[in-house]
Structure 1
């Protein structure tokens, strides 16, 4: 059964995107997570879509922001278990880079970038809340490639005390985004996030948008089921025709007893021979 807007947690894409498009909240989370100071961030568009190459698989980003130095931050929410997450990170990085640099421009125009995935599962099962990746030399780990790209995987299922209290509270809040969790939090981050969560959940226009998206998803699922049923029925017809033909029935007789056209039966048999 589908959740209502008020029942959503921050782990749900709709609520996460609506909360994190608040520049103040997004800036506060990034500063806390990366231990940096950001003067300001700009959000070029909600859920930025990158679809550069014809025929290639495009990507739709949950949160895509830039700071005053044009540093790019991409933040994504990931639920369930995704074994292909490392390859997805690689694909996202490649597409973001292609989007940043135009044909004929120098590679120097590629700016620093962070791709941050907030996961409700521990991909590496090492108990950490945070896994940070940069390119280093395998022969000498003191040598970094310095390509100014960093990938971070946050994990709500971590057990180590490897982050400061505010970030640990935030990760708990991701899966249980209610008043009780917010009240138990000592830091300001969760309280600020919760204020925005309450604003979204009590906004009538957000409710309408959420219900519209939900109905659209339902229609797509129903359409997929109908197509699957039609495909199954068609396959049953084909199997029946070929079975009867292999028993020696004529095309005309098969068409007559099944109420098919002779042309349809002939086409199925021709395809079956191929």
Structure 2
């Protein structure tokens, strides 16, 4: 019996494999949606954790003095006082909407709102940019939900402290406001500002004196170095480092961190198992499709051997005339 050799989809074209490699999975961790690399991301041991760990960053920033000074130095403003509206700010406008839990959410004495996020992984495409848009919208909806009029919306600042250069231009800070394209001196003045700090900008420099961007506060220069793992320098960063040590000496914090890490690992395993299950299901589906195609080719070949017209073969096998002709040529039947 002749062997069917009609061209079929190969496994290299499949979207899934039996051993699915999850590059990125989205987990719900600590009631916050984040992106983690499922195969590579591992939280460090408590004693090795640094300010870049969201858990530790959040706890350190709950020191009002440190949080207030960090905001002042980033924005170049003076704040009389700040408050944390909730221990952990969660915004959930509707039951069917994507909820947001913000790392550090504070308001000052004038009502201005600040959201500060530590970001150590560079997401695919423009996910981070779209996330700032979503955060901004959710914060505004939360304010409106409390009975405010549009004209009463307070100024908001979404601040991402990144361990990478999101825009690739080498600036230590990227500040975005809404401006007119026809005249970039004309601002919309809608009270929204988004900032992205780039800790990699300071890596080649030893001190603020040699840093080419003189408008960056010296303490923020040292802070970005500290984020990159350098020893603390300057009064402010040493204060931050002391707070980090204080938090890490707290046994209850250590237990909470361990629980947090186990939750991440559990969700990672669940995501991978789901991915493997999807891969198996897709592999089975693809395998069944391959089997059906092989069967149709075998039927068409038998019909060709019995001189059945191509039009009838096409009708009963659903193979195209080109596929039938190729099959006939392959087996020297034309």
Q: TM-score range by the shorter chain?
A: 0.7 to 0.9
**2:188 corresponding residue in structure 1:** 145
* Structure 1 residue matching 2:189: 3-state secondary structure: coil
**C-alpha displacement of 1:203:** 0.8
Q: Are 2:248 and 1:201 equivalent residues in the alignment?
A: yes
Unaligned stretches of 5+ in structure 1? 249-274
**2:50 corresponding residue in structure 1:** 9
RMSD (Å) for aligned C-alpha atoms = 2.2
CA–CA separation in structure 2 for the residues paired with 1:198 and 1:103: 38
Q: Assess if the C-alpha contact under 8 Å between 1:10 and 1:175 holds in 2.
A: no
CA–CA separation in structure 1 for the residues paired with 2:154 and 2:170: 32
**Quick one: which of 99, 113, 116 aligns to 1:58?**
99
* Structure 2 residue matching 1:226: 3-state secondary structure: helix
CA–CA separation in structure 1 for the residues paired with 2:261 and 2:132: 27
Q: Which of the two has higher C-alpha Rg?
A: 2
**1:161 corresponding residue in structure 2:** 212
**2:112 corresponding residue in structure 1:** 71
For 1:1-274, what aligned pairs fall within 5 Å after superposition?
A: 2-82=43-123, 83-84=125-126, 85-102=128-145, 105-159=148-202, 161-162=212-213, 163-176=216-229, 181-182=231-232, 185=233, 187-235=234-282
Q: Assess if the C-alpha contact under 8 Å between 1:9 and 1:175 holds in 2.
A: no
Which fold has the larger relative contact order, with Cα–Cα distance below 8 Å and residues 6 or more apart in sequence? 2
Q: Assess if the C-alpha contact under 8 Å between 1:17 and 1:47 holds in 2.
A: no
Partner deviation per Cα, 1:161-207 (whole Å, 9 max, x = no partner): 32122110001111216xxx02xx1x211011011100111110011
Unaligned stretches of 5+ in structure 2? 1-41, 203-210, 296-334
Q: Bigger shift: 127-136 or 218-227?
A: 218-227
TM-score (norm 2): 0.67
Q: Assess if the C-alpha contact under 8 Å between 2:74 and 2:217 holds in 1.
A: no
* Structure 1 residue matching 2:168: 3-state secondary structure: coil
**C-alpha displacement of 1:230:** 3.5
Q: Assess if the C-alpha contact under 8 Å between 1:119 and 1:155 holds in 2.
A: yes
CA–CA separation in structure 2 for the residues paired with 1:146 and 1:240: 58
Q: Bigger shift: 49-58 or 32-41?
A: 49-58
**C-alpha displacement of 1:105:** 4.0
Partner deviation per Cα, 1:83-141 (whole Å, 9 max, x = no partner): 42222211111111111113874212200111111111111211110111111222222
**C-alpha displacement of 1:228:** 3.0
Q: Would you say how many aligned residue pairs link Structure 1 and Structure 2? A: 242
Structure with greater helix percent: 1
